[in-house]
Structure 1
Amino acid sequence: MKSKRMCFACDLKSDPKLIEEYKEYHAAENTWPAITQSIKDAGILNMEIYLLGNRLFMIMDVDDTFDPDRKKQMDEENPKVQEWEKLMWKFQKQLPEAKNGEKWVEMERVYAFQ
């Protein structure tokens, strides 16, 4: 099975208390099992989120079954994912480049050393 790397950006609201709370939700011991399962079910093999200031950077390694449209539909049909996404809007804000209602925006790779 071949994998592909995808990278996304999102901003948090510029509020230190909210940023710390966001980080708490993403600590390993606080992860919602239903969210982790939805990630795996979509064909995401690995996911990491990094933070600088209020800018988030997400790296996803996906298998050849991953389809962003399918993931979106799966998320829309999953009440626990919808609950999570609604909660995350408390912390996240839309990037200027984002489409209406979109939080995570896929980034363009401009350099790779192999």
Structure 2
Amino acid sequence: MKRYCLALDLKEDEGLIAEYEAHHEKVWPEVLKSICESGVIDMEIYRIQNRLFMIMETDDDFSFEQKELLDASNLKVQEWEKLMWKYQQTIPGSKPGEKWRLMTRIFDFKAAL
């Protein structure tokens, strides 16, 4: 199993943030199915102010490139992504259109013991 941590910002608008959270209370079944089919075992998203933090656990065969290909061929996932972009904005330093940014682990408690 692999673990990835990613970050993304929401637009700084309380109404939009509330809508974004409401969408995540009932994620479309097609999107959930696509996430599972890509090799994601578990996923959680946390928020502080307008910053989002995602923890994603995957099987050993997972790759972001493969997930991107699967997402690109799924019209419902593309519809979801377009809707989510209404609420999201890139983190400073992102490439144009780049959404979730992979974070670098800088501390591992178990390894430090």
Same fold (TM over 0.5): yes
- Give the one of 59, 63, 71 matched to 2:59: 63
* TM value normalised by structure 2: 0.95
- Give the one of 2, 24, 27 matched to 1:4: 2
Aligned residue-pair number: 110
> Which residue of the partner structure matches residue 47 of structure 1?
43
Offset at residue 31 of structure 1 (A)? 1.6
Q: Percent identity?
A: 51
> Which residue of the partner structure matches residue 104 of structure 2?
108
Segment drifting more, 96-105 vs 10-19: 96-105
- Give the one of 19, 22, 25 matched to 1:24: 22
Deviations 1:66-95 (A, max 9, x none): 010010011011000000000001000011
- Give the one of 88, 95, 98 matched to 1:99: 95
Offset at residue 13 of structure 1 (A)? 0.2
Unpaired stretches in structure 2, ≥5 consecutive residues = none
RMSD: 0.7
* TM value normalised by structure 1: 0.94
- 1:19 alignment partner AA: I
